[in-house]
Amino acid sequence: MTSPKPKSSTQNLKKSIPAPARRKPAFRSAYTKAELEEIFRRFSIQRPEPKGELEHVNPFTLVVAVALSAQATDAGVNKATRALFKVADTPQKMLELGEEKVRDYIKTIGLYRNKAKNVIALSRMLVDDFGGEVPKTREELVRLPGVGRKTANVVMSMAFGIPTIAVDTHIFRIGNRIRLAPGKTPDEVEEKLEKVIPKHYLYHAHHWLILHGRYCCKARRPECERCVIADICKSPEKSCDVPAPLVELPPQMIGAAD
């Protein structure tokens, strides 16, 4: 019986060296730089000053409104918060109101019991840890109960003028549907959007994309005949290649139904 041939030092060395980690392929947009510039140029003409549709009077009420808007429409949140914010527009006033009364104000909103708890908890943290002021950084904002990355990005943009992309259901859908920033998670879509959106359009891009998804590129059926970027759009779902007339839309009716 022959003894097994000893392995060479080269073979042993090969086994000891781990295989190199696979690099994540760099993201390449489906659109050219010129096409991206034109998409957002058209959005800027259509809606020169886009606005978020959640009613608020200061950064605190904005945090509360955005936190309440999870799995709810902006219109539904606005109906509930109009009366609430008249009596509690600061963290201290919200604490004095108490969880039970907060529940009474927001009971028409989905998951209102848990949301009322979060509103009181975030108000407590703002008073105890931040001197009653809403922080400006994402790292601090996401510490607040009921505040995730999307809510933090909305607050940073709308309350403090910091350009961010908050990926809600509309932006997630559009990012994938029109191949602008395809991704499996909101964070992945956010990361890609920040790479492809021309920097000088980044501040308003969040609202342009949300409003485009809410009123034109709708979930059930995109209304391509009303789309100002129909000729540029690379969605396999699109039904029209002729862009709608590029005109400025009437001022937004904040609080209108979704």
Active site amino acids: 150, 168
Contact between residue 254 and residue 53 where contact means Cβ atoms under 8 Å apart = yes
End-to-end CA distance of the chain: 82
Burial code (b: 16+ CB inside 10 Å, e: under 16) for 35-71 equals bbebbbebbbebbeebebbbbbeebbbbbbbbbbbbe
Cα dist from 110 to 83, 136, 187, whole Å: 17, 28, 24
**In 3D, which of 137, 149, 87, 142 has the Cα closest to residue 118?**
142
Where do the H-state alpha helices sit in 161-253?
Answer: 169-177, 186-196, 202-215
What string of DSSP letters covers 84-102?
HHHH--SHHHHHHH-HHHH
Tokens of 149: 């990355």
Is residue 9 within a helix (H) or strand (E), and if so which, with residue range? helix 9-16
Is residue 62 within a helix (H) or strand (E), and if so which, with residue range? helix 59-68
Query: What is the SS3 assignment for 215?
Result: helix
